Structure 1
Amino acid sequence: MSKTKTKGVKLDDTTHKRLEELARIRDRSPHWLMCRAIETYLDREEKYEEEKREDMDRWERYQLTGIAVTHEKAAEWLENLAEGKVTACPR
């Protein structure tokens, strides 16, 4: 079982009422909803940060080498995918 820690969250009256109402409708506790909301947010933001890091790595690699996939190759690959023809990503 993982260890848990308590964090306090201050909510304005409107947000608090919305949380209570959704918890009632979903037959869940406000705590459960807040935990799921935080997990969802963290998953999304961590993925965004990872993609941003990958983009920066690609940009730096391009600046160092000048090597890039041409628009024509990328467009052809995407057209093939749209037609259901799965081919290796152009490099």
Structure 2
Amino acid sequence: MATSLKIDDALKSRVQHLPSQRRRSSHWIMLEAIRQYVEREEAREGFRQEALAAWAAYQETGRHVTGQEARAWLNTWGTDEEKAAPECHK
């Protein structure tokens, strides 16, 4: 799929300057920037969908973990006393 982009002169100059520093082509730099943006936006949408599903599940069941319970659990991560995730409750 051939696509053309119109970019302003300042951005074009920046893109043209990077290849000599990175030993990559301008084309590679632009493709990499687009790839990273798309991956970031896909992840963001995945997190959004996960949050909506969690909210729907909470509204349906009322089961939850409090912020204090979550923080207490997370504070044990990486320690010798690392604990299992707290159980959800009403």
The verdict on a shared fold, with TM-score over 0.5 as the criterion, is: yes
Aligned length: 87
**Taking CA–CA contacts closer than 8 Å with sequence separation of 6 or more, which of the two structures ends up with the larger relative contact order?**
2
Matched, 1:38 2:31: no
Segments of structure 2 that go 5 or more residues without pairing to the other structure are: none
Matched, 1:25 2:21: yes
- Give identity over the alignment, percent: 36
The equivalent of 1:49 in structure 2 is 45
Alpha-carbon offset, residue 62 of structure 1: 0.6
Match of 1:14 among 10, 17, 22: 10
Segments of structure 1 that go 5 or more residues without pairing to the other structure are: none
Cα RMSD after superposing both structures? 1.6
Rate the CA distance shift 1:84–1:48 in 2: closer, same or farther, 3 A.
farther
When normalised by structure 2's length, the TM-score is 0.85
Return structure 1 stretches of 4+ with deviation > 3 angstroms.
Answer: 84-87
